[in-house]
Amino acid sequence: MGCRVRRRLPLIAALALAAGAIACASVTVATAAQVGVNVTNQTAFSSPKALAAIRASKPAWVRVFLDWNFVEPQRGTLAPDWMGLYKRFFRALPRGTKIDVDVVLTPPWASGSSSTAAPPQNDADFAWFLQQLVTQFHNRVTAWEIWNEESSPNWWSGSVSQYADLVKSAYPAIKSVDPKATVILGANSPEMLSQLYSEGIRNYFDADAIHTDTACNVTSPYIYEYNRDTTVINRYFFLGFTGTHALMAANGDGSKPIYMTEIGWSSTSAECSTGLWAGKKLAGVTEQTQATYLSQAYHCLAQPKYSYIKAAMWFELQNSGSSSQPLDNYGLLNPNFSPKPAYDAFKQVSLHGAGQAGSCGNFAPPKITILRPTPGSTSSGPLHIAVSASSPANGVREITVDLTRRSREHFGPKRGFPSTLSASLTWLGAKNLKPGPHKIKVVVIDKLGNVATKVFRITHVRAARVVRHKHHR
């Protein structure tokens, strides 16, 4: 699955907002991630219908993009109209709503470039800007997110080192005004996060942001696959956030939370046009499936083992338009602010919790049965081996029989991922084994990447000698 390329929207046309909500602490699981939503239509800031939808779902968090190039169009001057827009919107939010401001897009005067993705020439300019923002919104903004999807050149055309320097400048600037503010790293990519650790970023952020609304994602949050030959879930599946947490833990940051600042599925019937699946599948799901996946995702995040996910903010509140473009159809509301099925699911989760029982995803390994040879068998010649593997929930991908350290046989289904797969072979080389016990290992992988192994033993004995006698007349 390919990484989504997000279209950059001018702030005058769209500001991105994500709100996370848990309505009542008394009814919400203590370890559950707080619920949230993104709003990219600037008219929602003053729309009574949009504000009513937010108030009805009682969000705990609201995340907004704040474009540096619009808010400080000239060095040292904050645009009063934009500052006023944010202040009015923040005041209109439900009482107690936490706010995460994601600061993005470099003004030309700071970068010397016409591209808003270019890094500033002097990080001190960005630090000064943040100090002014924190001062203006002090005691109203809870978290400050430093840029967005820096692993994508559409948002950040500088190097990893330049982004690290930006964060190292931003962190003390924010803390100098509001020591309690949460500074969120916008890495969004395990590869980039790993590089940032190499750049000494560890002491310059309080939490990491990740996005799970990847391009052409039509799989349930319960579905996952491991990266080849690993037990790391591929990052383009919902549960891929576990890999980011493992990376943070390996770098001494296991106690730092992760903010899922964008989570979502597009309700479009358009064909996928990006990434590895371009032209091979749909880019979205039905509106009802979108609602189902929303409930399933928050059910996953209510699992105690994922308590390091602080908040999960749905992308987005409102569909961006009437087109079938995937990016325009992530919303909980239609363009006219009427609710989609996903909004009802969102409201239910926000007010009352996920409300589902059971685990998230099927991590049960396949079952292996050794049909031949029977336990305690001895062999003196070619060995007949037959095994069966079953995984009713996930389906079987492959059976491998490890005969020796250098010899193995692979077996796969002719089509799809059957619930049961059998494999058999006659190992001619078994006749050359040394006398004594020998181990043979069977490895089975299911469709999702779960692995099961089973070892059986055989005892090789020398073939009985045939004594030929001469017959005399």
For residue 63, give the CATH number of its domain: 3.20.20.80
Residue 433 maps to which CATH number?
2.60.40.650
Whether 471 is covered by a domain: the verdict is: no
Say if residue 372 is in the same domain as residue 347: no
53 contacts: CB under 8 Å, gap ≥ 6: 317, 332, 333, 337, 339, 343
Asked, for residue 420, whether it belongs to a domain, the answer is: yes
Rg (CA), the chain: 28
pLDDT of residue 16: 30
pLDDT of residue 31: 52
Burial of 119 (0-12, 13-18, 19+ CB in 10 A): buried
Same domain (yes/no): 329, 427: no
Last residue within a domain, chosen from 352, 380, 404: 352
Which tokens sit at 451? Answer: 């692995």
Q: Tell me: do 288 and 331 sit in the same domain.
A: yes
- Amino acid occupying residue 308: Y
pLDDT at 325: 92
Q: Are residues 347 and 400 in the same domain?
A: no
In the chain the first and final C-alpha atoms are separated, in Å, by 82
Q: Are residues 70 and 207 in the same domain?
A: yes
Other Cβ atoms closer than 10 A to 58 = 19
Q: Residue-wise over 284-320: b if at least 16 C-beta within 10 A, else e? A: bbeeebbbbbbbbbbbbbbbeebebbbbbbbbbbbbb
- Residue where a domain stops, chosen among 352, 386, 409: 352
Does the residue 254 lie in any domain?
yes
Is the same domain home to 337 and 446? no
Q: Is residue 171 part of a domain?
A: yes
Residue 466 counted as domain residue: no
Q: Are residues 407 and 439 in the same domain?
A: yes
Question: Which residue range forms the structural domain that includes residue 395?
Answer: 367-460
Q: What is the pLDDT of residue 471?
A: 52
pLDDT given for residue 464 in this prediction:
64
Answer yes or no: do 317 and 391 share one domain.
no
Is residue 467 in some structural domain?
no
pLDDT at 396: 93
CB of 284 closer than 8 Å to CB of 329? yes
User: Do both 272 and 392 map to the same domain?
Assistant: no
What pLDDT shows up at residue 84? 95
CA distance linking residue 114 with residue 107, whole number of Å: 8
Domain boundary among 321, 352, 383: 352
- Tell me, yes or no, whether 116 and 233 share the same domain: yes
Whether residue 8 is contained in a domain is answered as no
pLDDT in tens, the chain (473 residues): 333 333 333 332 332 322 233 233 323 334 589 999 887 777 889 999 999 999 999 988 989 999 999 999 999 999 999 999 999 999 999 999 999 999 999 999 999 999 999 999 999 999 999 999 999 998 899 999 999 999 999 999 999 999 999 999 999 999 999 999 999 998 778 999 999 999 999 999 999 999 999 889 899 999 888 888 788 888 889 999 999 999 999 999 999 999 999 999 999 999 999 887 788 889 999 999 999 999 999 999 999 999 999 999 999 999 988 899 999 999 999 999 999 999 999 999 999 998 887 888 877 889 999 999 998 889 899 999 999 999 998 899 999 999 988 889 999 999 989 999 999 999 999 988 999 999 999 999 888 778 899 999 999 998 765 445 455 54
Q: Number of structural domains, the chain?
A: 2
On whether both 313 and 165 belong to a single domain, the answer is yes
Residue 286 within a domain: yes
Question: Is there a single domain that holds both residue 340 and residue 410?
Answer: no
